[in-house]
Amino acid sequence: MSITCKIEFEDNPQKVFCAGGLLQGTAELNFKIQKSVRSGSIELQPGTYKFTFEFTLPHQLPSSIEGDCGHIRYVAKVVCDMPMWVDKKFEEPFTVIRPTNLRETLRNPVVVGIQEKIVPCFFSCSNPDPVTITARMPFGGYNSGESINLEINVENISNHSFYEFTAELIRWREETMTLSEETTGGCDGNQRKTIRINIEIPKTPPTDTTIVAVTPPFYTTPTVDIPIIIGSNRYQIDTMPKQPDIKTIQEAPATPNIVIAQPPSSAQDTLEPKY
């Protein structure tokens, strides 16, 4: 190849940038033979030429994402405008993360509960019995790499047993994506139990369209959906009560209270990304 190009980002070998941040780097072009460029009909002699670039990324840029139904990608592009010839184009991808601050209000516990009547199968003629499921998280916002200490309170007045519960961390965008999943023990019929489980948050861009879904395995399955925010700025939680860091199942002393909490909210985007 008569022209090669090497694009590098200054002091950022990981090639990860925040929306609103400064993107700096160099483009090093190497010409094997003499070349003409359209701008001013300049003749470039064989050799190496280094150019610096600097851009301020817009604050409202959406985070990079890859999915089955689409993606958001960013590249730095260098174009050699060759007269009477096909232009030479070179690209170097980079990742953008849009910061999401975890506000003080997200340090409060989030509790969501449902009560439904369980039908064991579609063809059952028996009267359905009620079951109450309440899920509680100590905070409404987390960062990548942290663990969600989820507490599930179950009051199963029915004669039917739940042999397990599944907790999923799901990201909602144009498509749904399960980021993490944990399965724990269930609850027998005519029993009350408190179940604790930890859900690890993998590395993922900040988002306010994420839920924790708690689901027992049944044909008419009730699901408890807890909205949370995954942010990019850590807040201090040393003074908050620490939840157990292991999975346990224990008897609950009393019927759990059902409290419906308002989901955490965030500012609406003012810039729509193109997919």
Q: What is the pLDDT of residues 168-225, one digit of tens each?
A: 998 876 567 888 899 988 888 888 999 999 999 887 777 766 788 888 766 556 788 8
Q: What is the mean pLDDT of residues 255-275?
A: 39
Question: What are the sequence ranges of the domains in the chain?
Answer: 3-97, 104-251
Residue 106: DSSP 8-state: G
Of residues 229, 238, 215, the one with CA closest to residue 262: 229
* Record: fold of 3-97: Immunoglobulin-like (2.60.40)
pLDDT in tens, 3-39: 899 999 998 888 888 888 999 999 999 988 887 777 6
Contacts of 205 (CB under 8 A, 6+ apart): 63, 64, 65, 97, 98, 230
* Strand partners for 91: 77
The better pLDDT of the pair 174, 242 is held by 174
pTM: 0.55
**CB of 189 closer than 8 Å to CB of 160:** yes
Q: Judge if 3-97 and 104-251 fold alike in CATH terms.
A: yes
**Spelled out in words, what is the top-level CATH class assigned to the domain 104-251?**
mainly beta
The better pLDDT of the pair 224, 124 is held by 224
* Strand partners for 74: 94
Of residues 21, 17, 26, the one with CA closest to residue 56: 21
**Statement: residue 266 has pLDDT above 80:** no
Output the pLDDT for position 70: 75
Angstrom distance (rounded) from CA 32 to CA 105 = 60
**Statement: residue 53 has pLDDT above 70:** yes
Output the pLDDT for position 202: 86
Per-residue confidence at 127, pLDDT binned at 50, 70, 90?
A: low
Of residues 58, 139, 148, the one with CA closest to residue 98: 58
One-letter identity of residue 201: I
Q: Strand 3-9 vs strand 71-72: parallel, antiparallel, or unpaired? A: unpaired
**Statement: residue 275 has pLDDT above 80:** no
The better pLDDT of the pair 113, 134 is held by 134
Output the pLDDT for position 254: 40
Angstrom distance (rounded) from CA 63 to CA 98 = 5
**Lowest pLDDT segment from 70-74, 190-194, 204-208, 242-246:** 242-246
The better pLDDT of the pair 264, 133 is held by 133
**Lowest pLDDT segment from 59-63, 203-207, 254-258:** 254-258
